[in-house]
C-alpha cells in the first residue's frame, strides 16, 4: 500500500517497512474495474506506474526489472518465434521481447484495458511504441481464461503480473493449476518465466510460488535483481521443459544476443546472465544455518 501524502509517497516494502520518496507531479489518479491506478513523476525515479498503491515500474530503473524478466528465458530458448506475455500493462516487457528478430508474433494479454490506455498516454519512455509493432497483438482478458479458451502453443511465456501478495486479480496466476495450464501451452522445448515478488520480505509467499513451479517443471531456475524503486530485490522463477539457463556461458549468451539482433540493452549481457544465475536469493535467514 502507499499513500500520496503532501509531496511524498509512502510505498510499503512489506507490512512493517516503508520507503518514503518525493513526488514531483501527480499526472493521473483514478480507478479501473480492477485496481487503483496512479501515474506520478517521482524525483528519484522519474515517471512511475502505481497500482493499488504498489510501484509497478519507474522510468529510471525499469530496465533492471524488464531486461531481467525477459532475456534469460528468451536467450535460453534456441529459437524463440512465438511469445505470450500475460500482464505487462506498461508495454515494456513487450518492448524487450520485440528486440529479437526471431520473434514472429508476440501476444500480450492484460486484464485491465485502462492500464494500457494510461500507459499509452503517459508512459512512452516505457513502451517506446511497442504496441504499434506489426508483430504485436494485445488482448484484454484474464490471462487464465485466455489460456483455458485457447489451444495455441508458444516458445516462451512471460508472466509479468502484479505481485502474488498484491491485488486479488493476479493471485490465481501463481498456483500449481495455473502453471500446469502454462506448461500445456508451451512447445516441447518451451520455457516460462514469472516475476515472483520478493523472497526477503514475503518469503512464505515466494516459497509457495516456487514450489508450485517445481511441481510442474523439471527444470527450475531462481534469480533476483535489485530494483531501487521497489527498495528490494525482485525475484524471478524460470520453469523450462528442456533447456537450462544456468548452463549458458557469458560468451554463448552474447553470441545469441548478437545472432538474434538484440541491441540497446542497458543491464543484461552474457556476464549479467551468469551473475544472475549465480547470485544467492535474498532471505531473512539462510536455510541450513
Active centre residues (catalytic): 160
Minimum CB distance to ligand SAM, residue 16 (Å) = 19
* Cα–Cα separations (whole angstroms), residue 262 to 81, 131, 146, 253: 14, 18, 29, 11
C-alpha 258 chain-centroid distance: 23
Q: At what angle do helices 62-76 and 250-259 cross, to 10 degrees?
A: 90
Q: Please choose, from the candidates 75, 112, 68, the residue with its C-alpha nearest in 3D space to the C-alpha of residue 90.
A: 112
Query: Which residue's CB is nearer to ligand SAM, number 173 or number 281?
Result: 173
Minimum CB distance to ligand SAM, residue 83 (Å) = 15
Query: Which residue's CB is nearer to ligand SAM, number 97 or number 109?
Result: 109
Residues that bind ligand SAM (CB under 6 A): 56-57, 65, 86-90, 109-112, 115, 142-143, 160-163, 169-170, 173
Query: Which residue's CB is nearer to ligand SAM, number 50 or number 248?
Result: 50
Query: Which residue's CB is nearer to ligand SAM, number 77 or number 144?
Result: 144
Q: Please choose, from the candidates 18, 29, 22, 30, the residue with its C-alpha nearest in 3D space to the C-alpha of residue 6.
A: 22
Minimum CB distance to ligand SAM, residue 69 (Å) = 8
Minimum CB distance to ligand SAM, residue 18 (Å) = 17
Q: What is the dihedral of CA 159, 76, 136, 228, to 10 degrees?
A: 50
Amino acid at each position: 500500500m502507499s499513500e500520496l501524502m503532501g509531496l511524498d509517497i509512502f510505498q510499503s516494502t512489506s507490512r512493517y517497512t516503508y520507503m518514503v520518496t518525493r513526488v514531483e507531479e501527480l499526472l493521473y489518479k483514478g480507478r479501473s474495474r480492477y485496481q487503483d491506478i496512479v501515474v506520478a513523476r517521482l524525483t528519484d525515479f522519474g515517471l512511475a506506474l502505481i497500482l493499488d498503491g504498489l510501484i509497478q515500474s519507474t522510468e529510471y530503473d525499469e530496465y533492471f526489472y524488464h531486461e531481467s524478466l525477459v532475456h534469460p528465458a528468451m536467450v535460453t530458448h534456441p529459437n524463440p518465434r512465438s511469445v505470450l506475455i500475460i500482464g505487462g500493462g506498461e508495454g515494456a516487457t513487450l518492448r524487450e521481447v520485440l528486440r529479437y528478430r526471431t520473434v514472429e508474433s508476440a501476444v500480450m494479454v492484460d486484464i485491465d484495458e485502462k492500464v494500457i490506455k494510461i500507459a499509452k498516454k503517459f508512459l512512452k519512455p516505457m513502451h517506446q511504441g511497442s504496441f504499434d509493432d506489426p508483430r504485436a497483438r494485445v488482448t484484454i482478458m484474464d490471462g487464465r481464461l485466455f489460456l483455458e479458451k485457447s489451444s495455441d502453443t508458444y516458445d516462451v511465456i512471460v508472466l509479468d503480473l502484479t505481485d502474488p501478495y498484491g491485488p486479488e486479480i493476479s493471485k490465481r496466476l501463481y498456483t500449481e493449476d495455473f502453471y500446469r495450464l502454462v506448461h500445456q501451452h508451451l512447445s516441447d522445448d518451451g520455457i516460462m518465466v514469472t516475476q515472483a515478488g520478493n523472497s526477503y520480505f514475503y518469503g512464505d509467499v515466494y516459497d509457495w510460488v516456487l514450489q508450485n513451479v517445481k511441481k510442474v517443471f523439471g527444470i527450475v531456475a531462481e534469480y533476483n535483481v535489485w530494483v531501487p524503486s521497489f527498495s528490494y530485490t525482485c525475484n524471478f522463477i524460470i520453469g523450462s521443459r528442456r533447456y537450462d539457463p544456468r548452463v549458458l556461458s557469458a560468451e554463448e549468451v552474447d553470441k545469441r544476443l548478437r545472432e538474434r539482433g538484440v541491441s540497446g540493452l542497458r543491464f543484461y549481457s552474457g556476464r549479467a546472465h551468469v551473475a544472475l544465475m549465480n547470485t544467492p536469493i535474498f532471505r531473512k535467514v539462510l536455510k541450513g544455518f
